[in-house]
Every structure is written in structure tokens, then in C-alpha cells.
């Protein structure tokens, strides 16, 4: 018997409840595996991808006579990489498939069982299916049974996001498996990243949008050049379509504003002047926003503030230029893959004792030197001087930088953990720390009167 995956509806916000279980939402390819005399692995579009993932042949050794539902993922830098798993599906030649399996091995995360020994289980409640799944499938090198929690949805979501994951899926414990249906009994709670983009144009509308537009063309400044990062065609109401079109009129130009070979003919270009906040999932390998959705216009933001650094890790040239790695034990700035929401404070016994606050952002550790140490009581404030970005590996560094080298002295970890960012702007940064010594909300505010790199660090009340 063939099955189509049960699908989840989007949730408005994280939530909890005794009647729900919560598991990680993996960013990969949904797949139904039929394990019997033969093995077949089918995507939600009924494409057979069994031969694309030869390492999943181990399923036949881990279970038998079952139909499983799960997600095929490829981990890179500690997080699922959708581009990597998509590349594996696209591979067609045997040599390419074998090379991809070696270089980008997959994991099949199994979260449901639909059939066992020829008996359909879809009518049974999820709680029973989970128990049967655990009894029927052993973990392997490339196959794991999905873990979950019951009730504690908000905390589980926060933990998932702190690890850089996409979010969680909430499922009613009493829900049957509704094959091929999208149901409110399963809800996806996804982290939404946002980016402020310059609207560089719009495409011609068709159908019920023939009188307005189809999609916005988006750009971000990379230095003085506008880089095209994709188009967004969702998130609009009939009213906002008309209002936006009217707002665009003064900026229309015949001059192409960004290099974009795939922009449809008949599109209209706009001079920089309109900024839109756009939600997106992540950045593709060719620097396009994945799954973008229009959120709102940002009349308070200048186009030149819309830089590529919002979505692309900045370089570590300044960090590297200040260090001689043949003498210093500090980690080399090679642009390590993001870990997700890491936080560290390092006590630095340099010429002047100070503490270095580091927050992971855009693939690096944004860093401030705090001469008197971070405040631990609400209302306290400390001077914090912005310094060069550090590589992510620096968050685990402890050691002695030799005399004569930049920052000479002993570095040791004073506190570490994770953090959640709130507002992150040019003048103010809000964040909540979950450390071993510090916890709770903090705020960094520009202190321009004392110097361009100076900030004030506040401990806020809970």
C-alpha cells in the first residue's frame, strides 16, 4: 500500500500543552520508506530516491515489514543543510551518487510508523504509533528514531532555535495519521529570519494581480553595489498591493538597478528609495533568499543600511591581519560554519584586565571588550568597546597569547552558553543570555559621545 505524507499547518507562535508532543523540524526531504523484501524510499511527490541514498540500505538490517515516515537530512557544521541534500537528489550518475554519499552522508530521521507486518497503523493515535516505532526500529549509523518531548513546547522551541535549527513540529498525541492531508492536529512552529531589503523593482502582474504587480525584486548592498537576492511574491493583501504600487511610482526608472539575469521581461526597475522587511528561511548557495515572504515596508530605514552582511557572514580580515598564527595559539579565522546562538565571556589578562563579550551573529562572534566586566545586577551599566569580529572557534579558546603579539596575555572562559537576539540595530542590541553564570535580558546601547566604537552594556530586569 502506498502512502502520502501527513502535512502540518503553520502555528502563529510557540506553545505548550499536555496533549501535544514536540519534535525538531528538520530541514531536509520528506520520505516514506517501505522496508520489506525490497526497500523503496519515496518522496512526497512520489519520486523514488532509493538509489540516491545508498547508505540507507541499512534500513533492511534495522527493521522489517514496516512503512516509515521521516526526513532525510545532511548535516553540515552541526546543522541541517538543505542545499546539500537537494544536491544529492539531483545527482544522477552512479559515480556522482557514490561521491556525494561519501562527502555528504545523510541521516534518515524517522518520526512515524504507518504499517507493520502488513497491518495499517494510521488509524491508531500517535502515542501508540510512537511506541510501536520504538519497538520496531533500531538506530543505525544513518538511521535514527526522532526524539521528542511532551508538553514543554515553548522551551523545546527555544532550545531548537538556539542550536540554529528551523523550529519544531507540534503533534497531538491522540492524532491519527491522515495520509495526504494537511491538518491542524500537526502544527509547524518555524523560526522566521528577517532581512531589510532595497526594493529594486517589481514584476508584471497576471491574473487577479494584472492591475498591480506579481513580485518585488530585492537587493542588498555589497559595498557600493546592489546585489540581487531574489523576489518575493507572497505576504500581500489586495490593499497592500495597491498601496505599494502607488509608493513605487516616484522611483520608477528605465535603468536596471542590479545584475539579475532571471528577472522576467517586462519588469519595472526602481531607484533605491523603498525598503521592505522580508521574512526568509535561509540563504541559498547562490545568495538568494529561500522561502521569502513580505512582512512590511520600513519607512524608518535608509536603503544604504540594507547590506549583505545581514544574511552573509562578514569576513574576518581584520582579525586575521592582527595576528601571527605561527606564534599565537588563537584559532585561525577560516569562516567556520555557524553553530547557532552561541555566547561566551572570556576573562582576558592583557596589559589591562578586561572581559570580552562575544555573541554569534552572521557566522562570526560579534565582540566587545568590557573593562569592568559584564553587569550582574539589574540597572548596572558597563562601558563596552566594540572590537573586530572573531571566528566562531574563538568561543572555546583558552590559552596564553605570547608577549609581543596582539592581545598578549592569558585568556580563559568566564561564562558561556546560548543567547536569543531581540532587536539588533545600529544603535541598540537586545539579547537574552542563558549562561552558566549570567542569565536574563541584556541591552547594548550606542554611546557615541564617548567614541564611535563605544557602547553601554545594561543588565535589564526580568
User: In which residue are the cell numbers 528561511 written?
Assistant: 281
Instruction: Give the three-class secondary structure for 184.
Output: strand
Separation in Å, CA 143 to CA 60, 84, 330, 416: 11, 18, 37, 32
Residue 414 CB coordination number (10 Å): 19
Rounded to a whole number of angstroms, the distance between the first and last alpha carbons of the chain is 54
- Would residue 221 be called left, alpha or beta, if left means φ above 0 and alpha means ψ between -120 and 50 degrees? beta
- By annotation, the residues acting in catalysis are 25
3-state SS assignment for residue 333: coil
Cell digits for 424? 539588533
Residues 396, 80: Cα–Cα separation, whole Å: 22
Determine contact, residues 218/200, Cβ cutoff 8 Å.
yes
Residue pair 309/249 in contact (Cβ under 8 Å)? The answer is no
Query: Which residues, other chains included, contact 53 with Cβ-Cβ below 8 Å and sequence gap of 6+?
Result: 41, 72, 88, 101, 106, 108
Q: Which residue from 444, 422, 419 is spatially nearest to 433, judged by alpha carbons?
A: 419
Amino acid at each position: 500500500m502506498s502512502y502520502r505524507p501527513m502535512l502540518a499547518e503553520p502555528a502563529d507562535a510557540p506553545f505548550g500543552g499536555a496533549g501535544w508532543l514536540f519534535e525538531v523540524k528538520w530541514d531536509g526531504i520528506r520520505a516514506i520508506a517501505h522496508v520489506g523484501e525490497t526497500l523503496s524510499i519515496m518522496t512526497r511527490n512520489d519520486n523514488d530516491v532509493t538509489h540516491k541514498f545508498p547508505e540507507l540500505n541499512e534500513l533492511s538490517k534495522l527493521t522489517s515489514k514496516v512503512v516509515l515516515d521521516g526526513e532525510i537530512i545532511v548535516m553540515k557544521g552541526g546543522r541541517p543543510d538543505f542545499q546539500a541534500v537537494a544536491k544529492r537528489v539531483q545527482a544522477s550518475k552512479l559515480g556522482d551518487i557514490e561521491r556525494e554519499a561519501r562527502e555528504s552522508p545523510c541521516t534518515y530521521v524517522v518520526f512515524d510508523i504507518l504499517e507493520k507486518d502488513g497491518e495499517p497503523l494510521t488509524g491508531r493515535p500517535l502515542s501508540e504509533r510512537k511506541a510501536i516505532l520504538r519497538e520496531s526500529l533500531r538506530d543505525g549509523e544513518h538511521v535514527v528514531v526522532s526524539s521528542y518531548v511532551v508538553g514543554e513546547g515553548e522551551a523545546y522551541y527555544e532550545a531548537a532555535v538556539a542550536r540554529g535549527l528551523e523550529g519544531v513540529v507540534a503533534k497531538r498525541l491522540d492524532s491519527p495519521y491522515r495520509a495526504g492531508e494537511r491538518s491542524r492536529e500537526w502544527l509547524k512552529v518555524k523560526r522566521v529570519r528577517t532581512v531589510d531589503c532595497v526594493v529594486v523593482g517589481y514584476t508584471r502582474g497576471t491574473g487577479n494581480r494584472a492591475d498591480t504587480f506579481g513580485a518585488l525584486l530585492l537587493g542588498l548592498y555589497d559595498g557600493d553595489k546592489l546585489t540581487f537576492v531574489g523576489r518575493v511574491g507572497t505576504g500581500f493583501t489586495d490593499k497592500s498591493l495597491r498601496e505599494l504600487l502607488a509608493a513605487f511610482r516616484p522611483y520608477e526608472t528605465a535603468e536596471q538597478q542590479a545584475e539579475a539575469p532571471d528577472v522576467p521581461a517586462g519588469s519595472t526597475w526602481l531607484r533605491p528609495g523603498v525598503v521592505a522587511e522580508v521574512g526568509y528561511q535561509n540563504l541559498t548557495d547562490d545568495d538568494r533568499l529561500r522561502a521569502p515572504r513580505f512582512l512590511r515596508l520600513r519607512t524608518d530605514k535608509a536603503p544604504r543600511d540594507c547590506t549583505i552582511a545581514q544574511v552573509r557572514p562578514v569576513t574576518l580580515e581584520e582579525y586575521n591581519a592582527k595576528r601571527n598564527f605561527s606564534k599565537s595559539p588563537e584559532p585561525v579565522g577560516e569562516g567556520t560554519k555557524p553553530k547557532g546562538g552561541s555566547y561566551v565571556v572570556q576573562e582576558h589578562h592583557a596589559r589591562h584586565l578586561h572581559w570580552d563579550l562575544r555573541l554569534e551573529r552572521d557566522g562570526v562572534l560579534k565582540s566587545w571588550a568590557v573593562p569592568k566586566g559584564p553587569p550582574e545586577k539589574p540597572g548596572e551599566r558597563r562601558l563596552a568597546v566594540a572590537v573586530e569580529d572573531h571566528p566562531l572557534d574563538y568561543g572555546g579558546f583558552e590559552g596564553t597569547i605570547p608577549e609581543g603579539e596582539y592581545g598578549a596575555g592569558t585568556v580563559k572562559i568566564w561564562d558561556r552558553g546560548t543567547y536569543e537576539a531581540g532587536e539588533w540595530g545600529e544603535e541598540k542590541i537586545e539579547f537574552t543570555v542563558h549562561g552558566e553564570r549570567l542569565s536574563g535580558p541584556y541591552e547594548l546601547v550606542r554611546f557615541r559621545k564617548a567614541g564611535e566604537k563605544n557602547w553601554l552594556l545594561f543588565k535589564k530586569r526580568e
